[in-house]
A and B are shown apart, each in its own frame.
Chain A
Amino acid sequence: MGFDIQKVAKEMLSAAEGEFRDEWPKVKKAMAQVLADEQAALEKIAQAYISGAINEEEFRDQLESERDAFAAGEAMVKVCSKVTIQKAVNAALQALMEAAKAAV
């Protein structure tokens, strides 16, 4: 059995695309969730300041903490992105392995 590099490349690309199609919406959803969380949190902080429940120093302190919480959300999205890339590349490698096995 021969080894058609063009055909194998197409199979690898298709395998990687399949993974991206399944996984990428999860990454987008995770990022959208972090942004929505942040918006809701900032609204609550602003409301607490406007109502007088917290003073200016506490307001600034809360905003600083939110910056760190947002960074934690970004780190979570980074993990999801890396997992997506990992799955796509490994799916392509798997397609290559199967083609190589068939050719030898």
Chain B
Amino acid sequence: MNRNRLPWKTGVVACFLVLLSLLSAGCALQLVAPYDARTEELIFSDARLVDQFYSELQDTPEERRSYAVFAAEYRTIEGDLRSLVLRNKVRKLNEDSTEIAQTILDQWQKCRERHKKTDAYKDAIAELDRDRFRRMFEYAARAEGAKKPTD
């Protein structure tokens, strides 16, 4: 009745061999994309550009902060932020970091549109926006940094 059954020990050994080959082949659980040093560099570089932008803006008297004065910088920084989103987007298992980068880009476009529409940028708003960008870049950097292997 049981003659077609393999002895259980043989089955266990077979399972071990399969398990060993899987584990030896580097089979491990992957929930997030591996750390990417270039992305981390981009985050720091974009953070510096945005912060510099706000330094210039806040050094300019409020009555001279027309959109035209800053239009070129808005365009350059938007291009850099788009690169950051794309670099995050093309990596597998990277939805959360992509969400952070996309939020930074969306906020940048929102600030740009508001500046364009009102042709002004109040001190109080500049301070709040600058602080928000600083925090969001910090979140992006910490998310990427968390992926660094600890070994």
Interface size on A, residues (CB 8 A): 40
Please measure, in the bound complex, the distance between the C-alpha atom of A58 and the C-alpha atom of B121, giving whole angstroms.
11
How distant is B147 from chain A, measured CB to nearest CB, in Å?
6
How distant is A78 from chain B, measured CB to nearest CB, in Å?
5
Q: List the A side residues contacting B99 at CB < 8 Å.
A: 71-72, 75
Q: In B16-60, which residues have CB < 8 Å from any A CB?
A: 16-17, 19-20, 23-24, 27-32
Q: In A51-94, which residues have CB < 8 Å from any B CB?
A: 53-54, 58, 61-62, 65-66, 68-69, 71-73, 75-76, 78-80, 82-83, 85-87, 89-90, 93
Chain B contact surface mostly: helix
Please measure, in the bound complex, the distance between the C-alpha atom of A93 and the C-alpha atom of B143, giving whole angstroms.
25
Q: List the A side residues contacting B90 at CB < 8 Å.
A: none
How distant is A4 from chain B, measured CB to nearest CB, in Å?
12
Top 9 closest pairs, chain A to chain B, by CB:
A53-B124, A76-B139, A79-B143, A97-B23, A82-B31, A75-B96, A89-B29, A76-B143, A72-B103
